[in-house]
Amino acid sequence: MRPLSRFFPILDWGRHYNRQFAANDFVAAVIVSIMLVPQSLAYAMLAGLPPEVGLYASILPLVAYAIFGTSATLAVGPVALISLMTALIIGALHLPAGVSPVLAAMTLAIISAAILLAMGLFRLGFIANFLSHPVISGFVSASGILIAVGQARHLLGLPKADGNLAEILAGLVSHAAEMNVLTAILGFGCLGFLFWVRSGLPAILRRLGMAGVWATFVVRAGPVLAVVITTLASWYFDLAASGVKIVGTIPQGFPAFSLPSFDPDLWRQLALPALLISVIGFVETISVAQTLAAKRRQRIRPDQELIALGMANLGAGFAGGLPVTGGFARSMVNFDAGAQTPAAGLMTAVGIAGATLFLTPVLYYLPQATLAATIIVAVLTLVDLKTIIHIWHYSRADFGAMMVTIALTLFWGIEPGIMGGVVVSLMLYLHRTSRPHIAVVGQVPGTEHFRNILRHDVATGTSVLTVRPDESLYFANCRFLEDRIYALIAENTGLKHVVLMCSAMNEIDASGLESLREINARLRDAGVTFHLSEVKGPVMDRLAPSGFVDELAGQVFLSQYDALSKLDPSALTPCRIA
Amino acid sequence: MRPLSRFFPILDWGRHYNRQFAANDFVAAVIVSIMLVPQSLAYAMLAGLPPEVGLYASILPLVAYAIFGTSATLAVGPVALISLMTALIIGALHLPAGVSPVLAAMTLAIISAAILLAMGLFRLGFIANFLSHPVISGFVSASGILIAVGQARHLLGLPKADGNLAEILAGLVSHAAEMNVLTAILGFGCLGFLFWVRSGLPAILRRLGMAGVWATFVVRAGPVLAVVITTLASWYFDLAASGVKIVGTIPQGFPAFSLPSFDPDLWRQLALPALLISVIGFVETISVAQTLAAKRRQRIRPDQELIALGMANLGAGFAGGLPVTGGFARSMVNFDAGAQTPAAGLMTAVGIAGATLFLTPVLYYLPQATLAATIIVAVLTLVDLKTIIHIWHYSRADFGAMMVTIALTLFWGIEPGIMGGVVVSLMLYLHRTSRPHIAVVGQVPGTEHFRNILRHDVATGTSVLTVRPDESLYFANCRFLEDRIYALIAENTGLKHVVLMCSAMNEIDASGLESLREINARLRDAGVTFHLSEVKGPVMDRLAPSGFVDELAGQVFLSQYDALSKLDPSALTPCRIA
């Protein structure tokens, strides 16, 4: 791959662009733009920022991603999860003098951009792998619930209430008397309509004979319809005078390019949250991008995706926006609508820019309850009960990590939730590797293959004991192995040889080597010779120069069958003729 | 093992006690007591506490250990490392009203005792395994340097200076003008004498024909000789009047049993430091105990050792002492002196009690510089350069963890040092397992054994590709495996089958299972059948109910040889006749 194309994928797909692509991309862009205008306003509101910030954050990032991104159909912009995190982060800040929440959000996007670019340039993409699937799933589900419950106040016309689940619910209850009935009717009406559009309407459309593609389009346009109807109603009936909160004045046109704050105290407060947003945003982007790429047999490059995301957030930050990432819903819409290349994103950016220039006076009357209803419906699809059940059946450890993540996110917060989930996953992994399965193996008769004596019908002799630890030997488990071998020696009198079958031992660290030395010495004192078999290449590369092989009382055999052939051939049954 | 003996090992060895044991134990006890009296004073001084505290902390803990401990020759009491940690912890406290440093030290010992007992009862001994050997070695070496440098001020008669290495050195330099010449002569004279006793004297004694045992005894008694001579000199020449700091009045007899403080604020401050002291003390004890047990082919029980240490610290706390643990030097002296059973420790306790009752007026004139010299010589033996070099050659990763531990301990502090070392060790381990070695394997001709095509002369066909990942499949590495397999498919056109050889795959977690499903689906779409071979029992136990085996396009083979026999027998060379 030419070096310039590596960092500027636009040079690749741009060279093959043609009229057919342009037509498909244009159609997709129109559909996505229509969907994104209300969604951008909604997510800005979710982030606790003025609604136009959402629009600004939807323009330049799409342009940046089109230049730097490797996915053909990923769409970047404000997403529910990152917007919620932004709200919580800024809400918890001690804002220095002269720094407004909007300025803080811009600065957060810039810091996040710097982190993402650094991660991309240093190829640190693999860090995101440490968020296990159960932890991500649990985190996203819990966040979906948190967001939905947090938006309920908009449906009822109640004041702001943030924090964890308990705090939000308490806030709702304590202010219940201030509920605005008109808002509630409007809000729950929208909610009901949007749920119906997703579940009831498609069946009706199919029976009416509508083609699948058009039916999907209508369903996706549901929020837009709700926005149009409720805005008209709000204007016609002057609902604002009756206490229904509306979006209000949105500045028309683009903001001037502004600098974020460079206040050191602010940066210090934002550093860790920005890191979390970057990692979580990256994980979400990669999940979506890989799903889309698989559908079209394309490949994405995670380290380049980091750079693209970084540039997108740079654009968001300097344009007066908030942190952005690849969004699942908007990307799926883009994909389903037939986008072929990232040019669709460029055209979408133009569409939203147009809305910002011309449509904003119209949005004046849009009720906030409508936006809240669209958010609630969107995020409740994030709650993934199916996965929770699957993981309960497959792995109690993973289920435990998932539950810890969900509980921490719901009852403590976003940051403790994700960090707690990662820590629990890692601790469970380390605990498992520190008490490894250690099998005593024997020969599967008639073959050169050796398996666990407890599970298979195998032949063993009495003078040779073969032990196969099912784990790399490292500091957390080497004493465990020592103890097991000594216990086995004590149980099996008459032993002359012990063979350590290393086929599952992928590494031996310094503490592990100490343990092997200790085992070798103790066995020798007890009159038993210690051997190794099936040592892997990379492990041998380290063992050989250490002098251990010379210390070893016995030998290192290439295969377990060789070991038995040499040490106790009478115990073997001959292998079949192939 | 009878349940009562499990928790009270004294019931075991006590039943076999006889006159021969008693005689050996008595001799050992005399020798150890003589060595321990000045050492206890020295370590109390190192902990920043009055010297008698060291004596008190050497009596009851020995009794407790004799009742509860499983090692025959381990000796518990104040040790250099724990005493230094105590000094730093108490120095950093905000002492509540009415809480003296001594009371804080007693409370620290009690909290540590509670933690140790809890760890023992819940069988959490394995936690100490997470301190890898290189980290422990680096930590102990760095602490030895810290202690030695910190004691230099006593050699020069300078005021207190604590903290990290830079702070101590800065303190020494800035107060250099206040140096007391007489103290310096005395201190460095002691230092020189003690070094000579360790290195030069044994050679001379051997040439004089002295038996090894007696020579060792004389060398070990070096500090006692230094104490006696300098105390006499201090008394005769009234060195205290010339500015040489002396130990001063030590209360005669035992303190009343006193309660530690139960101030909640104090406990909150001490909680984490007590945990660190407990874990490090336990690791040190286990290292020493296992070394001694190996010499006599005895076994120790780590979870019972936790209980014994807990009881010992309970005794130390209530008797007005400081936290204690098994000490290397005192245990080696005990062992070398011929101790047979923990009764030697009981007798040593009596000996030190006697010194506390009767010898304390004599110790009035003991110069602090002498004690400092004995500490310096003792801890400099902790600095383990040999291990550092060995680990540099064996494992750069372990060396890195070691160096981080040493640097953090020297330049930041004890707690950052040990925690940093553990974190770095774990991170390095996770990093290695997240980018596993993945081998493409082929048949070793004439056998049923399969090895890496890059390292061995093996036979492979063109329609079957066998991949052997050398690591468990878990969230941190499953994407890496996916990418590698897809890349291999792209390189090897004409493939019909891919076999995943799972002999080194000790676990597949939920994220790993996802990846296998994804690989299965993608390969199927590309016209390649996915198979598994050599799946371990515990792994299959989880895979089978998950439904993956039914989803799998191909089969699960018991051995790799079976797989090739079925899928591409023409590529195999027949196995030899055994």
pLDDT tens for A201-216 read 888 887 887 776 677 7
- Helix %, strand %, coil % for chain B, to 5? 65, 5, 30
Highest-confidence segment of A28-32, A63-67, A478-482, B257-261: A63-67
Q: Considering only CB atoms, which chain A residues are within 8 Å of B129?
A: 434, 475-480
Give the Å distances, CA to CA, from B533 to A417, B209, B502, B503, B539.
38, 68, 6, 8, 12
Q: Of A433, A452, A559, which is closest to B447 when you measure between CB atoms?
A: A559
Residue B280 lies in a domain: yes
Q: Does the beta carbon of B536 lie under 8 angstroms from any beta carbon of chain A?
A: yes
Residue A557 lies in a domain: yes
B574 interaction partners in chain A (CB closer than 8 Å): 577-578
- Asked if pLDDT for residue A217 goes beyond 80, the answer is no
DSSP codes of every residue in A505-561: ---B-HHHHHHHHHHHHHHHHTT-EEEEES--HHHHHHHHHHTHHHH-SS-EESSHH
The three state secondary structure string of A35-51 is HHHHHHHHHHHHCCCCC
Closest residue in B to A509 (Cα) is B395
Q: Domain check: are A408 and A492 in the same one?
A: no
- State how far the Cα of B454 lies from the Cα of B447, in Å rounded to an integer: 18
Q: What is the pLDDT of residue A107?
A: 92
Q: For the segment A161-193, what is each residue's pLDDT rounded down to a tens digit?
A: 666 788 788 888 888 777 888 888 888 998 999
**Structural Rg of chain B based on CA atoms:** 30
Is the Cβ pair A395, B559 closer than 8 Å?
no
> Between B406 and B419, where is the model more confident?
B406
pLDDT digits (tens, 9 = 90+) for A89-113: 888 888 888 888 889 999 999 999 9
Out of A132, A471, A565, name the one closest to residue B506 (CB): A471
Contact assessment for residue A305 and residue A72, using Cβ atoms and an 8 Å cutoff: no
Chain A nearest-CA residue for B448? A448
Residue B256 resides in a domain: no
A25 versus B132: which is more confidently predicted? A25
| In a shared domain, residues B145 and B191 | yes
Min distance B233 CA to chain A CA atoms (Å): 48
Distance in angstroms (rounded) separating the CA atoms of residues B210 and B212? 6
Q: Are residues A121 and A232 in the same domain?
A: yes
Chain mean position to CA B345: 22
Closest residue of chain A to B564, computed from CA coordinates: A578
φ and ψ at residue B357, rounded to 5 degrees: -75, -35
**Residues B353, B413: one domain?**
yes
Q: Where are the alpha helices (DSSP H) in B240-263?
A: none
Mean pLDDT value across chain A:
85
Identify whether the C-beta of residue B162 lies closer than 8 Å to the C-beta of residue B87: yes
Q: What is the DSSP string of B134-192?
A: HHHHHHHHHHHHHHHHHHHHHHHTPPP--SSHHHHHHHHHHTGGG--HHHHHHHHHHHH
Distance from CA of B95 to the nearest CA of A (A): 30
Same domain, B298 and B215: yes
Q: Which residues lie across from A529 on neighbouring strands?
A: A497
What are the angstrom distances between the C-alpha of A543 and each of A516, B9, B342, B384? 11, 40, 39, 22
pLDDT in tens, A373-409: 888 887 887 787 888 888 888 888 889 889 999 999 8
- Where residue A243 falls (left for φ over 0; alpha for ψ -120 to 50; beta otherwise) is left
Q: What is the sign, positive or negative, of the torsion defined by CA atoms of B36, B37, B42, B43?
A: positive
Is A293 inside any structural domain?
yes
- Mutation target for A interface from B424, B507, B564: give the one with most A CBs within 10 A: B507
pLDDT above 80 (res A536): yes
| Residues of chain B found within 8 Å of residue A390, distances taken between Cβ atoms | 510
Judge if B384 and B518 occupy the same domain: no
Q: Is residue B433 assigned to a domain? A: no
Closest-CA residue to B41 (of B328, B371, B369, B374): B371
B358 near A CB under 8 A: no
* Burial environment of residue B411 by CB neighbours within 10 A (0 to 12, 13 to 18, 19 or more): middle
Q: Distance between CA atoms of B448 and B266, rounded to whole angstroms?
A: 66
In this structure, what token pair is assigned to residue B561? 């040889």
Residues A103 and A80: their CA atoms lie apart, in Å, by 20
DSSP codes, B12-43: HHHHT--HHHHHHHHHHHHHHHHHHHHHHHHH
Tell me which of B426, B447, B463 is where a domain ends. Answer: B426
Structure tokens at B506: 């000790």
Q: What residues of chain A lie within 8 A of the CB of B131, using their CB?
A: 475
Residue pairs spanning A and B at CB distance below 8 A: 198
B509, A398: Cβ pair inside 8 Å?
Answer: yes
The beta-carbon neighbor of B394 closest among A476, A542, A573 is: A542
Residue A117 has a pLDDT of 94
Mean pLDDT across A449-467:
87
**What's the average model confidence in pLDDT over A249-257?**
76
- The 3-class SS string of B340-404 reads CCCHHHHHHHHHHHHHHHHHCCHHHHCEHHHHHHHHHHHHHCCCCHHHHHHHHHHCHHHHHHHHH
| Alpha carbons A190 and A155: distance in angstroms, whole number | 9
CB contact under 8 A, B542 and A394: yes
Taking CA–CA distances from B573, the nearest residue in chain A reads A578
Q: How confident is the model at residue A578 (pLDDT cuts 50, 70, 90)?
A: very low
What are the chain A neighbours of B480 within 8 Å (beta carbons)? 126, 129
Averaged over B370-390, what is the pLDDT? 83
Name the minimum distance, in Å, from the CA of B309 to any CA of chain A. Answer: 20
CA distance A250 to A253: 9
How near does any CA of chain B get to the CA of A94, in Å? Answer: 27
The answer to whether the beta carbons of residues A507 and A536 sit under 8 Å apart is: no
pLDDT digits (tens, 9 = 90+) for B163-210: 678 878 888 888 877 788 888 888 899 899 988 888 888 788 878 877
Q: Which of B106-110, B188-192, B358-362, B561-565 has the lowest mean pLDDT?
A: B358-362
Touching B: A residues 393-412, CB under 8 Å? 393-395, 397-398
Please state which of the ranges A189-198, B254-263, B299-308, B511-520 shows the lowest mean pLDDT. B254-263
Please indicate if any CB of chain A lies within 8 Å of the CB of B444.
yes
Q: Which is more confidently placed, A7 or B162?
A: A7
Q: Give the best residue of B70, B127, B133, B438 to mutate against chain A (max A CB count within 10 A).
A: B133
The Cα–Cα gap between A111 and A103 comes to: 12
Chain A positions touching B433 (Cβ under 8 A) are 472
pLDDT value for A67: 93
* B262 pLDDT more than 50: yes
* Interface subset of A 295-324, CB within 8 angstroms of B: 297, 299
Given pLDDT bands bounded at 50, 70 and 90, which one contains residue B578? very low
* pLDDT for B417: 82
Which two tokens mark B328? 């290397």
Minimal CA–CA distance to A433: which of A489, A507, A530?
A: A507
**Residues 542 to 571 of B: which have CB under 8 A from any A CB?**
542, 545-546, 558-559, 561, 565, 569
Question: pLDDT per residue over B114-127, tens digit each?
Answer: 999 999 998 887 77
Q: Which candidate in A291, A392, A394 is best for mutational testing of the B interface (most B CBs within 10 A)? A: A394
pLDDT tens across B475-497, in order? 888 888 988 998 888 888 788 99
Asked if residues B440 and B489 have their Cβ atoms less than 8 Å apart, the reply is no
The runs of H, that is alpha helices, within A58-200 are 60-68, 80-91, 101-121, 133-156, 165-174, 181-199
If asked whether residues A460 and A421 sit together in one domain, one would say no
Q: Would you tell me which residues 499-518 of chain B have a C-beta closer than 8 angstroms to some C-beta of chain A?
A: 503-507, 509-511, 513-514, 518
Q: Higher model confidence: residue A133 or residue A67?
A: A67
Whether the predicted pLDDT of B270 surpasses 80: yes
Half-sphere CA count of A420, side-chain side, radius 13 A: 20
Judgement on whether residues A111 and A210 belong to the same structural domain of the protein = yes
Among B135, B395, B504, beta carbon nearest to A506:
B504
Average pLDDT (A291-307) is 79
Is A239 found in the same domain as A143?
yes
Inter-chain residue contact A510 with B437, CB threshold 8 Å: no
Which of the four pLDDT bands, split at 50, 70 and 90, describes residue B290? confident
Asked if the C-beta of A426 comes within 8 angstroms of chain B's C-beta atoms, the answer is yes
- Angle of the A222-236 helix axis to the A368-380 helix axis, nearest 10: 160
Measured between alpha carbons, how far is A309 from A118 in angstroms, rounded to an integer? Answer: 11
Identify whether the C-beta of residue A43 lies closer than 8 Å to the C-beta of residue A80: yes
Is the whole model's pTM more than 0.90, yes or no? no
Assigned domain for A163 exists: yes
Residue B486 burial class via C-beta count within 10 angstroms: exposed 0-12, middle 13-18, buried 19 and up: middle
- A256 within some domain: no
Greatest alpha-carbon span in chain B: 97
B536, B462, B526: which is closest to B492 by C-alpha?
B462
Residue B16 has pLDDT above 60, yes or no: yes
Q: Which residues, including other chains, have CB under 8 Å from residue B199's CB and lie 6 or more apart?
A: none
Distance, CA of A84 to CA of A365 (rounded, Å): 24
Chain A nearest C-alpha distance from B77 (Å)? 26
Helix (H) and strand (E) counts for chain A? Answer: 26, 8
Instruction: Looking at the complex, report in whole angstroms how far the Cα of residue B477 sits from the nearest Cα belonging to chain A.
Output: 7
Contact A447/B574, CB-based, under 8 Å? no
Contact check, Cβ <8 Å, A433/B558: no
Length of chain A: 578
Average pLDDT, integer, range B50-62? 91
Helices (H), A395-413: 396-411
Domain count, chain A: 2
Nearest to B46 by CA among B205, B124, B139, B153: B153
Q: Which of A493, A458, A481, A465 is nearest to A572 (CA)?
A: A458
- Helix (H) / strand (E) containing B467: strand B464-469
Q: How close B560 gets to chain A, by Cα (Å)?
A: 9
Task: Indicate the residue among A400, A426, A452 that finishes a domain.
Answer: A426
Q: Which of A401, A426, A451 is the last residue of a domain?
A: A426
Backbone torsions φ then ψ of A451, nearest 5 degrees: -135, 170
* Band of residue B228 on the pLDDT scale cut at 50, 70, 90: confident
> Worst-scoring range by mean pLDDT, A10-19, A290-299, B367-376, B565-574?
A290-299
CATH (domain of B494): 3.30.750.24
Asked whether residue A400 falls in the same domain as residue A442, the answer is no
Domain membership of residue B555 as a residue range: 438-571
Cβ separation B429–A525 shorter than 8 A: no
A387-396 long-range contacts, Cβ below 8 Å, gap at least 24?
Answer: A387/A133, A387/A134, A387/A137, A388/A137, A388/A138, A388/A141, A390/B510, A391/A134, A391/A137, A391/B510, A393/B545, A393/B546, A394/B510, A394/B513, A394/B542, A394/B545, A394/B546, A395/A134, A395/B509, A395/B510, A395/B542
Q: Are residues B398 and B512 in the same domain?
A: no
Q: Which two tokens stand for residue B531?
A: 């198979």
When the pLDDT of each residue in chain B is averaged and rounded to a whole number, the result is: 85
Q: What is the pLDDT of residues A14-68, one digit of tens each?
A: 888 888 888 888 888 988 888 888 888 889 988 989 888 999 999 999 999 999 9
Is B396 inside a domain boundary? yes
The first and second tokens of residue B105, run together, are 């030290």
B443, containing H or E segment: strand B438-443
Residue B326 has pLDDT above 60, yes or no: yes
Choose among B394, B444, B537: nearest Cβ to A455: B537
Looking at the fold, whether B337 and B458 belong to one and the same domain comes out as no
B559·A449 Cβ contact <8 A: yes
Distance from CA of A532 to the nearest CA of B (A): 16
Distance from CA of B8 to the nearest CA of A (A): 22
Distance CA A370, CA A382 (A): 19
Interface test with A, best of B132, B136, B437, B447 (most A CBs within 10 A): B132
pLDDT band at residue A77 under the 50/70/90 scheme: very high
State the helix-helix crossing angle for B181-199 and B212-220, rounded to 10 degrees. 160
Residue B393 clears pLDDT 90, i.e. is over it:
no
From B299, B510, B538, residue closest to A437, measured CB to CB: B538
Residue B213 has pLDDT above 70, yes or no: no
